[in-house]
Amino acid sequence: MALKKLFGRLTGGTAAPAPAPAHDGAASDSGFFSTQFHDRAEDSQVIATWAARAADVGAQPLDRAVAEPLFVRIWGADRYVAALAANDILKLSRYLHFVTVPADREVIGQDEQGDYMLIVLEGTLAVDRVQPWGGRARLAEARAGDMLGEMSLLDAGTRFSACTTLTPCTLAVVDAQRLDEMIMNEPRLGLALLASLSRRLSLRLRQVSARLSALLSSN
């Protein structure tokens, strides 16, 4: 039922006027992705929203006149993004929040349930897995063009790792409510974004499978 509902939104959405500036209001129950988090919140933990996290890490809004051309340039050169004209990428950017975050700030917490993902536009972030004894295992470092937290945005599950800024960073934020609005108002752009996420997740799964296969064959 969930897949049918999502497919219906992507293929049957009606074009609507350009969205109002991004805001952090309560998610609508009619939204596909935001409803997932609404339902989970009733059954389990409190959702870690971007509005709360932004205040905790000292995120500052970035002027769209500066952020949008940067986003268009980075996404236009990304091989995992469906072929979109610069004007289409600009339309997509209107559903994003753009912020700057100082160094040494945890923008995604491990094991929390967050309703947003991040697109790195500038800077470097550490992706760490916190061990039960308190140590941190470095899984990766994210740079311009990388996405963080997309799995939780798609399935409303808990975060696997913690993401911390190593340098001052410029980030684009996609939350569940704005993703719902994009799919309803601009279904072609919503599909392009979801296709990009699918490609990245598929690549990540292949890499994990290859490592597991190498490990098993060595034993």
Q: Is residue 144 part of a domain?
A: yes
Mean pLDDT over each residue of the chain, to the nearest integer? 80
Share of the chain above pLDDT 90, in %: 37
Which domain CATH number covers 124?
2.60.120.10
Q: Is residue 93 part of a domain?
A: yes
Helix axis angle, 176-185 relative to 32-43, nearest 10°?
Answer: 150
pLDDT over 70 (residue 23): no
Q: Is residue 25 part of a domain?
A: no
25 — phi, psi (to 5°)?
-80, 180
> What's the pTM value of the predicted model, to 2 decimals?
0.76
Give the confidence band of 40 by pLDDT, cuts at 50, 70, 90: low
**Residue 37 pLDDT:** 60
> Per-residue pLDDT tens for 180-193?
999 899 988 888 88
| 3-class DSSP state of 83 | coil
- Domains identified in the chain, total number: 1
**Residue 2 pLDDT:** 44
Q: Is residue 39 part of a domain?
A: yes
**Residue 203 lies in domain:** 31-208
Structure tokens at 139: 């899984």
pLDDT over 80 (residue 38): no
Of the candidates 150, 142, 145, the residue with the CA atom closest to the CA atom of residue 198: 150
pLDDT average, residue stretch 63-76: 92
Q: Is residue 38 part of a domain?
A: yes
Q: Is residue 20 part of a domain?
A: no
- For the beta carbon of residue 139, count every other beta carbon within 10 angstroms: 14
